[in-house]
A and B are shown apart, each in its own frame.
Chain A
């Protein structure tokens, strides 16, 4: 048989009682691209981490070419030819490409010194062999994220890894870079490598892989041939019910202008211009998206709107009130905010769910007695219950720590808290980041409901699919400037993608 790796009856329990993998049996053939798909928390990453020795299975067996493997560390995994590229890229930015690749197993000369010439040459050979189009002498800090990802893959190839595990490799790439990565992965497969890749982008999975294994809540739902299935079928397997992929938007007539940001500029302490004359207007009943590669001013934009960064130049008016220099509490009277980093900005993990839903509301009278000095515990508990019911949160009780919730449920609680603030303007910074398909759909429906209710919504997202699905207009942010203001229905992913990367329109195409 062509079975290279078999994982049999894998069970993984995270203490105290979370069953991450529930009796999963799966096989991978030599020379195939095998996708592992599933919602967040389905167990995809855990399964792969067990194979790579980062986690140990509570019970179950792994066979490699029919031989029982007992992988307890990544070192043993690599010795068996199994390697993994993580979502976050881990390289030494001050080192060159070849230095990073050989790091840890440098070829040495007679005197025990690194044989730079040989090392560099070996790396160059690999680059040529797989057509990687990398400069071995470039500093990692100078190359793009896509190139860094290639360096990670190269590191594994240099260690003679034949089975490559990639954890959501496309999540850090722009739409233009993805096909290039896929070409390279296909070439690797054709040269005999086995590629296991984790994803929840179904289009990519269908395009790239030979076989697809679907996990749902720690259980294997099935393995299918990619050419014999469809996106709808996969989605149904993943979620357990039908999911709609079409645009959910109902036509809405925008009302008065609620959010006006005029000529916002920001220069950081190092003298770099991070925001340059940014103008954003959002009207009631309107959702405006901000597209852009991360690091093009999104962070500064959010911080300036929220009051974490003093506005140096420009003016911010929300709902007729000038908030340019207002304190955060005043801003929060007009602005609801969902951040991209739940644990850092939107919640306190050790605090209870109740304490988390109370934030900001506790300054608005309903949950306090005696002129706002004393907390009204009964009202607070009732409010937590209200959030649970209205936003379909799965939780044990409002007094459980926030960290006991799954990612999707955490985001529901945060959304619930923010939306119930009933502000005219809503700022969403990557609100679906790290969420599973079911939760993403839920969040999208909530955003559309807000728009219908007459709120002005500003959505910052790195996911173009998301922007196209729910926004009315898309602004493209590139190097701190808004380079395009597009009506969503009159543009397409390619145009926006090009603008994101180049910062200007594709002149040749337009001509």
Chain B
């Protein structure tokens, strides 16, 4: 655990240094840039609140990917599941008007069901036609993309708008703010705790993990791998769907074109950097959200373009993933030398 934390921190530091070199080469001042970056994401209560809000879809889709990959289900459908969740929550929010205490959970459930339905389609295609979810989830992303685009352009189009979007959802469905902080973060944390508990403490989580490592062993041990696969797909769909619902309910309160942005793919990246660890996904999700939130400030204060953050993210990904095995190799080499000295002396 401590080892992993150290590896992660070292990876981040190395990545930031490489980023600094990139900036120097381009003629920017790295110290100034990083100061602006972190100032605009962590430097004030408002910045911090914004960062947390931005982290919600990142972490939820990250958890979705981490649970799926760790269980051997290559669910790459987070973008589509997120959009379908967002659409489901929006539609429910347009037609229902209940007191907030009922409305908010209802919309969250709608979002979860939306995402679950979409990953469920992929799971059923695997079950009935033996189609690889790796392909089907990617294809379903496209369908979700254009389906939601159509939905907000025609049936749910806001007549007063001049670009594709829905009217705002009922006020009761807006995620309330506590001071500067949006409560969508609390929902995300709750989802995180539930996911962590399922993965590490329950029989199902145990079976998922073992199936992901060696599915033949799990099968021979009596694990119903196809049922577990179904559950994993549905659960990871729920997480991605929730991400979509929370974007709508916390932010623009309506479905705007491109609302999913790059959140889901960044979430997949977070899961990969985190090596499918649940806690690590939370931590890296917060870090990536910090980078992305600070990017705006960085662009404002210094002349460094926002795109540099994408470069930085990619470097973190590469350095941390490469570092994972490299630190072990170095540690092993040192131990080997030590042992040999003992023997020969």
Q: A16-B331, A375-B206 are in contact. Are A346 and B217 (CB under 8 A)?
A: yes
- In the bound complex, do residue B336 and residue A355 qualify as a contact, i.e. CB atoms below 8 Å apart? no
- In the bound complex, do residue A358 and residue B206 qualify as a contact, i.e. CB atoms below 8 Å apart? yes
- In the bound complex, do residue B203 and residue A345 qualify as a contact, i.e. CB atoms below 8 Å apart? no
- In the bound complex, do residue B339 and residue A13 qualify as a contact, i.e. CB atoms below 8 Å apart? yes
B-contact 0/1 string along A1-38, CB 8 Å cutoff:
00000000101011111010011000000000000000
Write the nearest CB–CB distance from B277 to chain A, whole angstroms.
13
Q: A13-B336, A16-B336, A19-B343 are in contact. Are A329 and B222 (CB under 8 A)?
A: yes
CA separation between A23 and B207, bound complex, in Å? Answer: 45
- In the bound complex, do residue B203 and residue A368 qualify as a contact, i.e. CB atoms below 8 Å apart? yes
Interface centre among B209, B216, B335, B343 (most CB of A within 10 A): B343
Q: Which residues of B contact A347 (CB under 8 A)?
A: 214, 217
User: With an 8 A cutoff between CB atoms, is B2 at the interface?
Assistant: no
User: With an 8 A cutoff between CB atoms, is A103 at the interface?
Assistant: no
Q: A15-B335, A375-B201 are in contact. Are A337 and B220 (CB under 8 A)?
A: yes
Q: How big is chain B's contact interface, by range?
A: 20 to 34
Q: Which residue of B lies closest to A342 (CB)?
A: B217
- In the bound complex, do residue B218 and residue A359 qualify as a contact, i.e. CB atoms below 8 Å apart? yes
CA separation between A327 and B224, bound complex, in Å? Answer: 9
- In the bound complex, do residue A355 and residue B210 qualify as a contact, i.e. CB atoms below 8 Å apart? yes
User: With an 8 A cutoff between CB atoms, is A69 at the interface?
Assistant: no
CA separation between A350 and B212, bound complex, in Å? Answer: 11
Secondary structure of the B contact surface, majority rule: helix
- In the bound complex, do residue A351 and residue B331 qualify as a contact, i.e. CB atoms below 8 Å apart? no
User: With an 8 A cutoff between CB atoms, is B333 at the interface?
Assistant: yes
Number of A-B contacts (CB under 8 A): 99
User: With an 8 A cutoff between CB atoms, is B162 at the interface?
Assistant: no
B-contact 0/1 string along A352-372, CB 8 Å cutoff:
000100111011000010001
CA separation between A182 and B63, bound complex, in Å? Answer: 60
- In the bound complex, do residue A15 and residue B333 qualify as a contact, i.e. CB atoms below 8 Å apart? yes
Write the nearest CB–CB distance from B228 to chain A, whole angstroms.
12
CA separation between A332 and B222, bound complex, in Å? Answer: 7
- In the bound complex, do residue A359 and residue B204 qualify as a contact, i.e. CB atoms below 8 Å apart? no
Q: A16-B331, A375-B203 are in contact. Are A351 and B339 (CB under 8 A)?
A: no
- In the bound complex, do residue B202 and residue A373 qualify as a contact, i.e. CB atoms below 8 Å apart? yes
Which B residues, 317 to 345, have Cβ-Cβ distances below 8 Å to chain A? 329, 331-333, 335-336, 338-340, 343-344
User: With an 8 A cutoff between CB atoms, is B219 at the interface?
Assistant: yes
- In the bound complex, do residue A17 and residue B203 qualify as a contact, i.e. CB atoms below 8 Å apart? no
Q: Which residues of A contact B223 (CB under 8 A)?
A: 329, 359
Write the nearest CB–CB distance from A100 to chain B, whole angstroms.
33
User: With an 8 A cutoff between CB atoms, is A328 at the interface?
Assistant: yes
Q: Which residues of B contact A358 (CB under 8 A)?
A: 206
Q: A15-B332, A374-B202, A375-B203 are in contact. Are A59 and B213 (CB under 8 A)?
A: no
CA separation between A329 and B340, bound complex, in Å? Answer: 48
CA separation between A345 and B216, bound complex, in Å? Answer: 6
Q: Which residues of B contact A11 (CB under 8 A)?
A: 340, 343-344
Which A residues, 318 to 353, have Cβ-Cβ distances below 8 Å to chain B? 327-329, 331-332, 337, 339, 343-351
CA separation between A249 and B209, bound complex, in Å? Answer: 42
- In the bound complex, do residue B344 and residue A59 qualify as a contact, i.e. CB atoms below 8 Å apart? yes
User: With an 8 A cutoff between CB atoms, is B221 at the interface?
Assistant: yes
- In the bound complex, do residue B203 and residue A374 qualify as a contact, i.e. CB atoms below 8 Å apart? yes
Which A residues, 41 to 59, have Cβ-Cβ distances below 8 Å to chain B? 58-59
Q: Which residues of B contact A368 (CB under 8 A)?
A: 203
Q: Which residues of A contact B217 (CB under 8 A)?
A: 344-348, 359
Q: Which residue of A lies closest to B332 (CB)?
A: A15
A-contact 0/1 string along B205-243, CB 8 Å cutoff:
011011001101111111110000000000000000000
Q: Which residues of A contact B329 (CB under 8 A)?
A: 15
Q: Which residues of A contact B202 (CB under 8 A)?
A: 373-375
Q: Which residue of B lies closest to A332 (CB)?
A: B222
CA separation between A256 and B333, bound complex, in Å? Answer: 58
Q: A345-B220, A346-B217, A348-B213 are in contact. Are A373 and B204 (CB under 8 A)?
A: yes
Write the nearest CB–CB distance from B216 to chain A, whole angstroms.
6
Write the nearest CB–CB distance from A468 to chain B, whole angstroms.
29
User: With an 8 A cutoff between CB atoms, is A308 at the interface?
Assistant: yes
Q: Which residues of B contact A308 (CB under 8 A)?
A: 219-220
- Within the complex, which residue of B203, B335, B340, B344 is in contact with A373, where a contact is CB–CB below 8 Å? B203
- In the bound complex, do residue B216 and residue A329 qualify as a contact, i.e. CB atoms below 8 Å apart? no
Q: Which residues of B contact A355 (CB under 8 A)?
A: 206, 209-210
Q: Which residues of B contact A59 (CB under 8 A)?
A: 340, 343-344
User: With an 8 A cutoff between CB atoms, is A306 at the interface?
Assistant: yes
Q: A308-B219, A329-B222, A374-B202 are in contact. Are A348 and B340 (CB under 8 A)?
A: no
Q: A344-B217, A346-B217, A348-B213 are in contact. Are A13 and B203 (CB under 8 A)?
A: no
Q: Which residues of A contact B201 (CB under 8 A)?
A: 374-375, 377
- Within the complex, which residue of B214, B222, B335, B343 is in contact with A348, where a contact is CB–CB below 8 Å? B214
Q: Which residue of A lies closest to B206 (CB)?
A: A375
Q: Which residues of B contact A14 (CB under 8 A)?
A: 336
Can you list 7 A-B contacts with CB-CB less than 8 angstroms, sorted by A residue number? A15-B333, A17-B339, A58-B336, A308-B219, A337-B220, A355-B210, A374-B201
Across the A-B interface, the 6 shortest Cβ-Cβ residue pairs: A15-B332, A329-B222, A359-B221, A16-B335, A348-B213, A348-B214
